[in-house]
Structure 1
Amino acid sequence: MKHSRAALVLLVFSAATAVAGAQTVFQPRPSDFHFPDSAVVRAGYARALQAPLREVIGRPDEIHLSRYHGHRIKYRVLTEGDGVYQLFLVEHRGEFPIDGAGSYVIKRNRDSGVFEQVKIFLLSDSEFFVRIFPDPVRGSRMDVVIAGDTVHRSVRVPLQFNRVLVEPFDLVAALTRNVVDWDRFRAQDALSWSEQLQETARRFQATGKLADVFLAPEPTEMIPLDRLRSRLFHEYQQEPGRVVSGVVYPSRFHTDNPETDEIVIFPYITESGRFRMTAFAGQQQISVHSLVAQFPEAYFALSVRRPDSLSIGNLRDDD
């Protein structure tokens, strides 16, 4: 099975490279991503992507079946504000969401027709994506956003922007692997924990106590509050079922007067692939996004509680 999967990825790369007119052969490793790549469909639009905007605007929606993944891909054109957007949307549950995992949103300036960026969604979540920009010196450059936090800025992508638009995303990942830890996006394998963790959160809201299914808290670590969301995703990816707690302080060195009482956060991924952070101050549910916005320069004294895998699976029966 591993050999056939690798061969399939190579076939996808070969097809896309042939359309893009590249001369070198790239030898990728099998995909790290669970979303189906639209590379073959995008490569088929290589000329349309470069066409004058008068030929692009008003073009009807078109749906294609990817013969490699068995998924349908919708090509769509939108005009909004100063931009003309060409979208390649992957089907998820019978729909084509713009923020679905694997979707490409390509923006050109409406006046000049110049490419400005492409936004690629890594999960079926509007806060997990990369933005890649043309760069006349470096080929392209990329920002990486995880759970709303920009964790990498201006990462060099040694690939011309027109190739970024038609090549498989695995090529971008392979070329930037020394900077970006792409393995963190394998969290889809952990969906089985979501129901148990949501049940734990409901019980915490009702009782103000964590169910007796967690190990002792680990030592506290002080982190910038504006990195809390991406850290929550990291903890979830490392071991699904972890619960994070902590207190907000005005700075790393001023810990005498906390800004908040203890906050308890339950990170998980829903069945639709969206990352959620259910948080409580006491028994009152709060928004992690609002917390970060309220204290943008603050620090969070983070502590992690790991699940006892032998007992958390029986949580529902422990009434």
Structure 2
Amino acid sequence: MLSKYLTSYLPGRRNVSSNTVRSYRDTFRLLLMYCQDVRKLRIEKLALKDIDEPLIVGFIDWLGHERHNGTTTQNQRLACIHGFCRYAQIEDPVGLLSYQRVLSIPMKKAAKPTVNHLTPDALKLILAQPDLSKASGRRDLTLLSLLYDTGARVQELVDLKVRDVRLEAPPVVILTGKGRKTRQVPLMPNTHTLLKRYMDEFHLFRDVSQDNPLFMNRMHGKLTTEGVNFILNKYVSRAREVSVTIPERVTPHVLRHTKAMHLLQAGVNLIYIRDLLGHVDISTTEIYARADTELKRKALETAYPSPTVPDLPEWSQDESLLAWLDKL
């Protein structure tokens, strides 16, 4: 049942991405490890009836206590198991009650993560670190500029092929995101110039290279998400030596948050930001509006004039108040 689910149902019927399949695979690999190492169940002897509510509850607790997974990770693993049980209750109606009990296991309440983003000055400082006298530095600057300018997820960036870039007016990049949804993102002039020079330098305009990755590593293979993280962290570390305003942890997703926050602060409508980021629901994009305290402060100042005056009297000079405090 599990083999059919991972190899046929998810990629075939559901048409999910390979990353999603790997996420499900890792969940069930951990579940089998738990069955074997903790419950002392032989994997070759496992049956569907063994995957019951007590086993799954114990597995989720084991993730938290033994593997020190956070609440979000535990919920993500439980969501994968829920998905399998929805599939199994149709394929194996005999075990319907057991699957329904697993599906009734609730997600844990998790604190909503803060939206970390960079200030314009911090972003400029990071982008100023690549050595433009080297080909690798010019590639890195183009990569990071494109990552910020398009608000792309890191996987969307590494999946880019030469054919996904259109440099003729109006210049756009075609990104393929979650659920294999594609969207066209316009390029700003500076990023367009960087990308054109990069593609000229690395000869990425030839017909034979249309299906080649847009960004490659030193071995001329497709750049990985780990590679992008390494490149970004290298320049973040250098920037932090210059200024203490650079946050301790900067990931490629922080650049995506940064683009969204900068657009919001510039007065761009949330609908356009949603389309740029590839969000399905506007409620997902609204997290940036809730996170921007500066916009909230300006809105409150505009709507409600402050009742306080700037030159309030100094309380320590109020003799009657001091006398009353002495008697208290």
So what's the TM-score if we normalise by structure 1? Answer: 0.22
Looking at secondary structure, tell me which structure has more strand per residue.
1
Looking at secondary structure, tell me which structure has more helix per residue.
2
So what's the TM-score if we normalise by structure 2? Answer: 0.22
The structure, 1 or 2, with the larger RCO (C-alpha pairs under 8 Å, 6+ apart) is: 2
